[in-house]
Amino acid sequence: MPVLKSNGQHVVRQVQPGLWQIVFHFPASTNCWLWKENDGLTLVDAGFPWSAKAILAAIECAGEPLKRIVITHAHPDHAGAAAEISGKTGAVVMAHSEDIPYLQGCSMAEVPGFWPCRAVLQMGRYFGILNAPSIARVQPLADGEFVGTLQVLHTPGHTPGSISLWAETEKAVFCGDNICTSFRFLHVGMPWFTLDLRAQKASLASYANLPVQLLLSGHGAVYRGDIAYQVRRLLAA
């Protein structure tokens, strides 16, 4: 994949025509994605609060105007720079309705769920490190809705309003933190940060019903292959 920009902190690659990956190396190899539509670009996830400058430079590299920012879930490594980028570009911010309160100042630490995850969230809230800047206006998304060519799949578990985006034309899924890749292996994503592990696994099962060939995760490398087979293997483990 051609590298368009690279420094010690991040790299911008063109994955294929109309799709770019922005990887922040630390922590946890965190990805944002640019997806080309007829009217301009969709940014899928917005990195950390300090990621705006790098993402804006990647948008310039892609050479199209940014129209919208879709947040796969309201964690600060995915929504962190959304407010700043939206303010600078005029792009609309969109997220599933169930995660919008957590993009606008509410804490997920009080949501019932997996206790280690809640402990991490409560600690983060205490130290002020897991709170992304509040986003004034967020357009709600619902299961089945289309954002350009991307179809929203409500895939809760990691957070109540976690979504995936299915691109039928390219047989690609943006899966947020539901599945992560490391060293060419797929694994169930971020269990320590997942509120409802059972719901997350049920959400993964929905990928097995789609002819996915390209998995675009919130963390880790681009994965090409028979995703349905890999998901069935993960769920059987």
Residues at the contact surface with Zn ion, assessed by CB under 5 A? 75, 77, 177, 218
- Decide whether 127 or 192 has the Cβ nearer to Zn ion: 192
- Residue reference for tokens 């944002």: 32
- Decide whether 67 or 75 has the Cβ nearer to Zn ion: 75
- DSSP secondary structure letter of residue 158: S
Specify the 3-state DSSP secondary structure of 136. coil
**Amino acid identity for residue 44 in this structure:** V
Rounded to a whole number of angstroms, the minimum distance from the CB of residue 177 to Zn ion is: 4
Distance CA 218, CA 46 (A): 10
- Decide whether 67 or 109 has the Cβ nearer to Zn ion: 109
- Name the nearest CA neighbour of 178 among 143, 150, 154: 154
- Decide whether 148 or 218 has the Cβ nearer to Zn ion: 218
Distance CA 54, CA 172 (A): 24
Rounded to a whole number of angstroms, the minimum distance from the CB of residue 90 to Zn ion is: 26
Rounded to a whole number of angstroms, the minimum distance from the CB of residue 187 to Zn ion is: 13
Find out whether 167 and 35 touch, Cβ atoms under 8 Å.
yes
Rounded to a whole number of angstroms, the minimum distance from the CB of residue 200 to Zn ion is: 11
